[in-house]
C-alpha cells in the first residue's frame, strides 16, 4: 500500500506537515473514530440541486397525497400521484445521469461492506461516507421500490375501479376481485412506507450524532463537512 497525504479531490484548503495515512479504496469515505479523526470546517459539495429538489418534493408530495386520501379529496390525490410518478421517473434517470453521489452505482455495496458498516455502527465509530452509506443505500433502494409499488397499484386501482387513468385499457380485463386486491395492496404499501419513514428518520438522527454533522442541513445546502485524519497543519 502506498502511503500518501489524504487530501480529497477538489478540496485544497489546508497544507499538512505530516502525512502518514493510507487512502481508502473508495475515494468518498474515511473511517471515523475519536482517536483518528478531527472535525474540520472545510466543506465538500455532495448533493446536487436535482437530488435535493427530488428529496424535498417527495417529502411534501407524499404528505399531501396521504392527507388528500384521508379527507377524500381524490381528484387532488390523483394529480399529486401523477406528480410523484414523474418525480420517481426523474430520480431513476438521474441515478444514471447525475453527479458521482447521485448515481446508483456509487451506493451499491457488497454484503461484506454492508455488514462491516453495520458492525462499525454498533461499535460507535462508523465509517464515514460522503454519499449514501450502506445502511442509507438499503433504505433508499427500498423506498424507491416501495414507491414504484404504490404508484403501480394506484394506477391499476384508478383504471379498474374508477375507470380513468393511463391504464384504462385494463378496466374490462381485470376481475372485481383483482381490482380490489390492487386497491388493498395500494393501502398496504402506503402503510409499509409509514413504517419505513420513521426508521429512515431514526437513521438520519443516529448518523448525524455519530458523525457529528447535520445530515438534514446537508440535504438542504448540498454541502457536507470534509473529514480528514488528524494532522498538524503548518
Instruction: Tell me the per-residue pLDDT of 56-69, one tens digit each, with 9 for 90 and over.
Output: 999 999 999 999 99
For residue 37, give the 3-state DSSP assignment: strand
Which pLDDT score, from 0 to 100, does residue 122 have?
84
Q: Over 50: is that where the pLDDT of 177 sits?
A: yes
Are 233 and 16 a contacting pair, CB within 8 Å?
A: yes
Which pLDDT score, from 0 to 100, does residue 41 have?
52
Which pLDDT score, from 0 to 100, does residue 232 have?
32
Phi first, then psi: what are they for 110, rounded to 5°?
-75, 160
CATH number belonging to domain 29-229 = 1.20.950.20
Greater confidence (202 vs 35) lies with 202
| d(C-alpha 23, C-alpha 91), whole Å | 31
Q: What is the DSSP string of 9-38?
A: TT-----BS----BPPSSTTEEE--TTTEE
Q: How confident is the model at residue 42 (pLDDT cuts 50, 70, 90)?
A: confident
Least confident of 100-109, 118-127, 176-185: 118-127
Which pLDDT score, from 0 to 100, does residue 227 have?
73
- The number of C-alpha atoms within 13 Å of 42 and in the hemisphere containing its C-beta is 17
Domain boundaries, the chain: 29-229
Least confident of 4-18, 102-116, 147-161, 168-182: 4-18
| d(C-alpha 153, C-alpha 159), whole Å | 10
Q: Over 70: is that where the pLDDT of 9 sits?
A: no
Are 81 and 154 a contacting pair, CB within 8 Å?
A: yes
What predicted TM-score, i.e. pTM, was given to this entire model? Answer: 0.77
Strand-strand pairing, 29-31 and 228-229: unpaired
Phi first, then psi: what are they for 61, rounded to 5°?
-65, -40
Q: Over 50: is that where the pLDDT of 17 sits?
A: no
| d(C-alpha 135, C-alpha 47), whole Å | 18
Amino acid at each position: 500500500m502506498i502511503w500518501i497525504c489524504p487530501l480529497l479531490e477538489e478540496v485544497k484548503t489546508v497544507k499538512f506537515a505530516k502525512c502518514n495515512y493510507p487512502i481508502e479504496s473508495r475515494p468518498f469515505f474515511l473511517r471515523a473514530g475519536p482517536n483518528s479523526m478531527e472535525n474540520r470546517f472545510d466543506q465538500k459539495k455532495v448533493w446536487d440541486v436535482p437530488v435535493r429538489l427530488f428529496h424535498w418534493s417527495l417529502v411534501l408530495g407524499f404528505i399531501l397525497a396521504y392527507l388528500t386520501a384521508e379527507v377524500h379529496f381524490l381528484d387532488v390525490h390523483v394529480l399529486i400521484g401523477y406528480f410523484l410518478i414523474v418525480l420517481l421517473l426523474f430520480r431513476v434517470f438521474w441515478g444514471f445521469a447525475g453527479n458521482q453521489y447521485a448515481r446508483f452505482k456509487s451506493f451499491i455495496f457488497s454484503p461484506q461492506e454492508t455488514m462491516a458498516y453495520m458492525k462499525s455502527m454498533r461499535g460507535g465509530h462508523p465509517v464515514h461516507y460522503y454519499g449514501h452509506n450502506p445502511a442509507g443505500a438499503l433504505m433508499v433502494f427500498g423506498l424507491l421500490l416501495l414507491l414504484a409499488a404504490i404508484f403501480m397499484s394506484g394506477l391499476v386501482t384508478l383504471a379498474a375501479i374508477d375507470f380513468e387513468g393511463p391504464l384504462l385499457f385494463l378496466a374490462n380485463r381485470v376481475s372485481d376481485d383483482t381490482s380490489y386486491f390492487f386497491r388493498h395492496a395500494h393501502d398496504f404499501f402506503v402503510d409499509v412506507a409509514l413504517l419505513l419513514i420513521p426508521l429512515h428518520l431514526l437513521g438520519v438522527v443516529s448518523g448525524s450524532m455519530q458523525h457529528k454533522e447535520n445530515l438534514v442541513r446537508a440535504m438542504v445546502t448540498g454541502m457536507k463537512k470534509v473529514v480528514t485524519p488528524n494532522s498538524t497543519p503548518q
